[in-house]
Amino acid sequence: MQNENRLLEFIKHFKKNKSAVLGFFIALLLVTFALFSPLIAPHLPNIQDLSARLIPPFWEEGGSIEHLLGTDDFGRDLFSRIVYGARISIMVGTISVSISLFFGLTMGVFAGYYGKWIDAIIMRIVDIMLSIPAILLAIVIVSILGPSLYNAMIAIGIVGIPTYARIVRGSVLAEKEKEYVIASRVNGSNNLRLMFKVILPNCTTPIIVQATMGFASAVLEAAGLSFLGLGAQPPMPEWGAMLADSLQFITTAPWMIFYPGLAIFLTVLGFNLIGDGLMDVLDPKLKAKA
Amino acid sequence: MFSFIIKRLLWAIPTLFGVSLIVFFMVHLSPGDPALALLGDHANKESVEKLREEMGLNKPLYTQYYLFASKAVHGDFGNSFKSKQPVLGEFMERFPATMELAMCAMILAIVLGIGAGIISAIKRYSIFDYGSMFIALAGVSMPVFWLGLVLIYFFSVSLGWLPVSGRLGYEFYVENITGFYLIDTILADDYAAFWDAFKHLILPAVALGTIPMAIIARMTRSSMIEVMKEDYIRTARAKGCSVFQVVMVHALRNAMMPVITVIGLMLGTLFAGAILTETTFSWPGIGKWIVNAVYQRDFPIIQSATLIIATMFIFVNLIVDLLYALINPKIRLS
C-alpha cells in the first residue's frame, strides 16, 4: 500500500515536469520503433534497390511516398533503416549500462563499505580510468578487441564503470553509519547481506538517475565510435555508421545526413530529459549539486 | 599549502603508473603477434623472429615494461609501425592543430556559456531562461559529428560562406613557427592567410564548443542563482548598487568558483569532441591521427598518444585542484 502511494506521488511529481514528460514520450517512441520495427518499417533495412538510389524525401521534388525519408546510395529505405536502428540503440544502451552498473556497483559498494586499503585500491583504479578521456579509453579498448558493435558496447560499458563506482561509494559511505545498518548488524546480518540487501537499496536514487543519463551517453558514444568506423560495421543500420556512409553525399543527398543524426539527437535528448526530471522528483538536493 | 602540493603531486604517481601499465599491456592483450602485424601476414618466419628480437618481445614481461617505461620517461615512444618516424615527433607536429581548435572552442564556450548563464539566472523563468536552458540541454545531447555535418551543409555547401574542411586553403603557405596558424600568419604579416585560417576554424570550433558551452551555461546559471540569494547581495543592493554592479562585481566573482572547476575539468570533453570533430572536418590534429592509427593497428601511436594525453590530463586536474585550493582555503586546510 505504501509503495503504491509512493509510486502515485512519484507519477504526480513527474507529470508536472513538462520536459521530463517530453523525454518520456521520446523514449516511448524509441521503444515502439524497436519492438514493432517489422510492422512500422515499410521495407527491410538492408534490402538494396539500385534502381531507387538517392531518392529524396517524399516532400521534395523527385521523392515518393514509398520512401518517406528517401533512400541511400544503395537504394535502401532510410526511414526503415532508422526504425530498425532503434533496436540497436536500445541494445547498446541496455548492455553498456548493465556492464557499467554491474562492475561499478560492486566496486563502489566494496570500496565504501570496507574502506581502508580496499577503498584505496579500488578508488585508485577508478582514478586511473578517469584519467583517460572516455572516448579515447573506448578507442583503446576497441583497438585491442577489434572494431565491431559488440566490442564497442563492451568498451563503452567499461568506460562507464568509474562513474558508478564513485557515486555508489559516496552513497554507501553516507549510509553505512546510520542506525538501521547498525541495528541490522546487531541482528546478525553478515557483511554481504549488509552491503547488498541493507545498504544498497537505500542508495538507489543517484544510481537510477545516473543509469538514465548513462543510457543517453552510451547511445551517443556508440554512435560516435560507429561514425569513426570502430563500432557497428556496414551494412548494419546503426545511426552513427549511417552518418559515416553519408559523408561523401553531403552535396548530393543531404537527407542522408539529417535524419540518422536527428534520431541520435532525439534519443539522447529524451533520456537526458528523463534523467533531469528524475533528479528533480527523486532528489532535489542532487539537482542543486549538479 | 606546500604540503598540499606535495601530497597531490605524490598522488599523481600511482595514477600515471597505472595508465602506463594499461598502455603497455595493450599490445600484449590484442590478438595476434605485434611483429607479425608490423610485417604483414606474408612475412617469413626468420624475419618475424628477427623483429621480435629487435622489439624485445622475447624478453620477460617485466623487462619489457621496464624498457618501455624508462624510454617513455625520456620521451622515446618508439617509431610508428607505418611511417617509421619517431612517434613523439609526429605527435608534436599535430598537437598545435588540436590545441588551436580546442582553445578557440573553449573561448567560444566560456564567453557564450557564462553570458547565457548570467542572463538566465537574472531573468529566471523568463522566455530567455527557458529558451537558453533548453538549448543548453539540447547542446549536451548533441552528437558533435552530426552538428559538424549539418553546419558544413548549411554554411559551406548551401551558402558557400565557409570552407568545408582542413586548416588552410591550398593557395596559402604558412611557415610553421608556433604551429598555431592564427599566430603564424600574423607573424608572417600575411593577413589574407590569417583570414582564411580563421574561416577554416569557425565551423569546427562551433561544433566542438557546443557541449562545453551548454555545460558552462547550466553551471553558471545554478551557481549564480545560489549566490544571488546570499545576504551580501542584499546588502549590496541596499547600499544602492546598480544591477550591473551587483551582478558583475559582487555575484559573479563568487559564482565563478564551481564554474572554473568545471572549465578545468572540461579538457576531457573537449578532447573527446576533438577526435570526432577532427574526423568530420578533416582537421589534421591528434584526434584524426589516433583514429587512423587504430585503423592501421599502429600500436606505438595509440600507446604514446594515450600515455601523453593521460599525463596531460592528470596534470591539468592537478593544476585545477591547486588553483581551487588557492582560492578556497577550506580545502587546503582540511
Q: Give the per-residue pLDDT at A285.
A: 58
| Nearest neighbour of A227 by CB, restricted to B145, B153, B268 | B145
| Interval A182-197 mean pLDDT | 86
Q: What is the DSSP track for B281-300?
A: HT--SHHHHHHHHHHTT-HH
> What's the average model confidence in pLDDT over B70-81?
83
Rounded Cα distance, A234 and A52, in Å: 19
What are the Cα distances from residue B98, in Å, to A131, A154, B75, B114, B177? 19, 28, 20, 24, 16
Tell me the β-bridge partners of A77.
Answer: A71
Give residue-wise pLDDT tens across range A198-226: 888 888 888 998 999 999 999 999 999 99
Chain A interface test: which of B145, B261, B269 (most A C-beta within 10 Å): B145
Q: Give dist(CA A199, CA B8) in Å, integer.
A: 32
Query: Mapping DSSP to helix (H, G, I), strand (E, B) and coil, where does residue A76 land?
Result: coil
Assign residue B195 the CATH number of its domain.
Answer: 1.10.3720.10
Over range A170-181, report the average pLDDT: 87
Task: With cut-offs at 50, 70 and 90, classify the pLDDT of residue B329.
Answer: low
Rounded to a whole number of angstroms, the distance from the CA of A183 to the nearest CA of chain B is 32
Confidence of residue A289 (pLDDT cuts 50, 70, 90): very low
Interface test with chain A among B15, B81, B146, by most A beta carbons within 10 Å: B146
pLDDT for res B69: 85
Q: Compute the mean pLDDT over every residue in chain B, rounded to the nearest whole number.
A: 84
Name the amino acid, one letter, at B302: I
Q: Is the pLDDT of residue A152 over 90?
A: yes
- Asked if B147 contacts B210 with a C-beta cutoff of 8 angstroms, the reply is yes
Integer-rounded Cα Rg, in Å, for chain A is: 22
Contact at CB, A19 and B137, closer than 8 angstroms: yes
Confidence label for A1 from pLDDT (cuts 50, 70 and 90): low
Interface test with B, best of A140, A255, A273 (most B CBs within 10 A): A140
For A16-289, give the CATH class: mainly alpha
Closest residue in A to B318 (Cα) is A131
CA–CA dist A172, A112 (Å, integer): 5
User: Distance between CA atoms of A166 and A30, rounded to whole angstroms?
Assistant: 30
Torsion of CA B104, B110, B113, B115, to 10 degrees: -120
Q: Is the pLDDT of residue A69 over 70?
A: yes
Domain count, chain B: 1
Torsion sign, CA atoms B97, B98, B104, B105 = positive
Q: Which positions 247-276 of A are in contact with B (Cβ < 8 Å)? A: 247, 250-251, 254, 257-258, 260-262, 264-265, 268-269, 272-273, 276
> Residue B59 pLDDT more than 50?
yes
* Residue A2 confidence class, pLDDT cut points 50, 70, 90: low
Per the structure, the complete domain to which residue B115 belongs is given by 94-289
Mean pLDDT of B64-72: 84
Is this complex scored with an ipTM above 0.85? Answer: yes
Per-residue model confidence (pLDDT) at position B273: 80
Separation of alpha carbons B324 and A171, rounded Å: 24
In-domain check, residue B259:
yes
Q: Establish if B178 belongs to a structural domain.
A: yes
C-alpha cell at A275: 534523467
Q: Which carries the bigger pLDDT value, residue B82 or residue A286?
A: B82
Among B224, B207, B213, B222, which residue's Cα sits nearest to residue B135?
B213
All three cell numbers of A126, joined, read: 577508478
The more confidently predicted of residues B321 and B65 is B65
Q: SS3 of B79, please?
A: strand
Residue A60's pLDDT band (cuts 50, 70, 90): confident
In 10 A of CB B201, how many CB atoms?
23
Q: Any CB–CB contact under 8 A between B302 and chain A?
A: yes
Q: How confident is the model at residue A261 (pLDDT cuts 50, 70, 90)?
A: very high
Q: Which residues 23-42 on chain B approach chain A with CB closer than 8 angstroms?
A: 23, 26, 29-31
Q: Which residues contact B123 (CB under 8 A, 6 or more apart)?
A: B129
Res. A32: pLDDT tops 90: yes
* B31 pLDDT above the threshold of 80: no
Over residues B252-272, the mean pLDDT reads 76
Does the structure show a pLDDT above 70 at B32? no
Residue B5 CA, chain-centre distance (Å), reads 24
- Written as nine digits, the cell of A144 is 585491442
Q: How far is Cα A127 from Cα A60, in angstroms, rounded to an integer?
A: 52
Give chain B positions within 8 Å (CB) of A131.
15, 19, 310, 313-314, 317
Confidence of residue B79 (pLDDT cuts 50, 70, 90): confident
Please give the pLDDT value at position A290.
45
Segment B244-252 mean pLDDT: 80
Question: Which one has a higher pLDDT value, B328 or A266?
Answer: A266
Give me the residues of A, 56-75, that contact B with CB < 8 A: none
Mean pLDDT (chain A, rounded):
88
Cβ atoms < 10 Å from Cβ of A36: 12
Please, are residues A87 and A34 in contact by the beta-carbon 8 Å criterion?
yes
What's at B1, amino acid-wise?
M
- State residue A93's pLDDT score: 95
Q: Does B5 touch chain A (CB under 8 A)?
A: no
Give the domain ranges of chain A: 16-289
How near does any CA of chain B get to the CA of A144, in Å?
4
In a domain, B41, yes or no: no
Tell me which of A94 and B16 has the higher pLDDT. Answer: A94
Which pLDDT value is given to residue A24? Answer: 93
Of the candidates B234, B181, B206, B248, the one whose C-alpha atom is nearest the C-alpha of residue B112 is: B206
Residue ranges of the alpha helices (H) in A41-133?
A: 78-114, 116-130
